[in-house]
Amino acid sequence: MTDERQMRDFEARDDAEKLAFLEHTWCDNCQQANLGMTDPVEYVLKGIVFIEGRCRQCGQPVVTELTDDDF
Ligand SMILES: [Zn+2]
Protein backbone atom coordinates (compact mmCIF):
# COMPACT_ATOMS: atom_id res chain seq x y z
CA MET A 1 0.00 0.00 0.00
CA THR A 2 1.30 3.43 -0.87
CA ASP A 3 0.59 7.08 -0.12
CA GLU A 4 0.91 7.90 -3.80
CA ARG A 5 -2.16 8.53 -5.88
CA GLN A 6 -2.56 5.96 -8.58
CA MET A 7 -4.60 7.36 -11.41
CA ARG A 8 -7.35 5.25 -12.90
CA ASP A 9 -9.36 5.72 -16.05
CA PHE A 10 -12.76 7.09 -15.10
CA GLU A 11 -13.73 7.13 -18.77
CA ALA A 12 -13.33 3.35 -18.89
CA ARG A 13 -16.44 2.95 -16.74
CA ASP A 14 -19.73 2.41 -18.49
CA ASP A 15 -21.98 5.37 -19.18
CA ALA A 16 -24.64 4.58 -16.59
CA GLU A 17 -22.00 4.24 -13.91
CA LYS A 18 -20.27 7.47 -14.92
CA LEU A 19 -23.57 9.31 -14.89
CA ALA A 20 -24.38 7.98 -11.42
CA PHE A 21 -21.02 9.12 -10.05
CA LEU A 22 -21.37 12.52 -11.67
CA GLU A 23 -24.82 13.06 -10.21
CA HIS A 24 -24.32 11.64 -6.71
CA THR A 25 -22.02 14.14 -5.08
CA TRP A 26 -21.65 15.98 -1.83
CA CYS A 27 -20.29 19.52 -1.92
CA ASP A 28 -18.72 20.78 1.32
CA ASN A 29 -18.83 24.32 0.05
CA CYS A 30 -22.52 24.32 -0.89
CA GLN A 31 -23.40 21.90 1.94
CA GLN A 32 -25.70 20.18 -0.51
CA ALA A 33 -25.92 16.73 -2.03
CA ASN A 34 -26.22 15.74 -5.67
CA LEU A 35 -25.39 19.05 -7.28
CA GLY A 36 -23.25 17.15 -9.75
CA MET A 37 -19.61 17.44 -10.75
CA THR A 38 -17.60 18.25 -13.84
CA ASP A 39 -14.07 17.27 -14.90
CA PRO A 40 -14.01 13.96 -13.03
CA VAL A 41 -10.76 12.15 -12.37
CA GLU A 42 -10.48 8.80 -10.66
CA TYR A 43 -7.61 7.63 -8.47
CA VAL A 44 -6.70 5.20 -5.74
CA LEU A 45 -5.14 6.43 -2.51
CA LYS A 46 -4.34 4.15 0.40
CA GLY A 47 -6.47 1.42 -1.13
CA ILE A 48 -9.56 3.63 -1.45
CA VAL A 49 -10.98 4.72 -4.79
CA PHE A 50 -11.81 8.39 -5.13
CA ILE A 51 -13.58 10.30 -7.84
CA GLU A 52 -12.72 13.97 -7.78
CA GLY A 53 -14.22 16.75 -9.80
CA ARG A 54 -15.64 20.24 -9.52
CA CYS A 55 -19.03 21.17 -8.16
CA ARG A 56 -21.39 22.09 -10.96
CA GLN A 57 -22.88 24.76 -8.73
CA CYS A 58 -19.89 26.58 -7.24
CA GLY A 59 -16.83 25.18 -9.02
CA GLN A 60 -15.13 24.05 -5.81
CA PRO A 61 -13.50 20.61 -5.70
CA VAL A 62 -15.77 17.75 -4.71
CA VAL A 63 -14.57 14.25 -3.88
CA THR A 64 -16.56 11.06 -3.80
CA GLU A 65 -15.06 8.22 -1.80
CA LEU A 66 -16.04 4.79 -3.04
CA THR A 67 -16.73 2.24 -0.36
CA ASP A 68 -16.60 -1.46 -1.13
CA ASP A 69 -20.33 -1.43 -1.71
CA ASP A 70 -19.89 0.70 -4.80
CA PHE A 71 -17.67 -1.72 -6.68
ZN1 LIG B 1 -20.65 23.46 -4.51
* Domain edges within the chain: 6-70
Average pLDDT over residues 37-43: 97
* pLDDT on residue 16: 97
Mean pLDDT calculated for residue range 41-46: 95
Task: Give, in degrees to the nearest 5, the angle at Cα 15 between 35 and 68.
Answer: 75
CA of 39 from ligand 1 middle (Å) equals 14
Within 10 angstroms of residue 9's Cβ, the number of other Cβ atoms is 8
Asked whether the predicted pLDDT for residue 69 surpasses 70, the reply is: no
CA 9 / ligand 1 centre spacing (Å): 24
Given a cut of 60, is residue 68 above it in pLDDT? yes
Please check the confidence at residue 71 and state whether its pLDDT lies above 60.
Answer: no
- Residue 58 Cα to ligand 1 midpoint, Å, equals 4
d(CA 48, CA 5): 10
Residue 59, CB-side half-sphere exposure with 13 Å CA sphere: 0
For residue 1, the CA-to-ligand 1 centroid distance in Å is 32
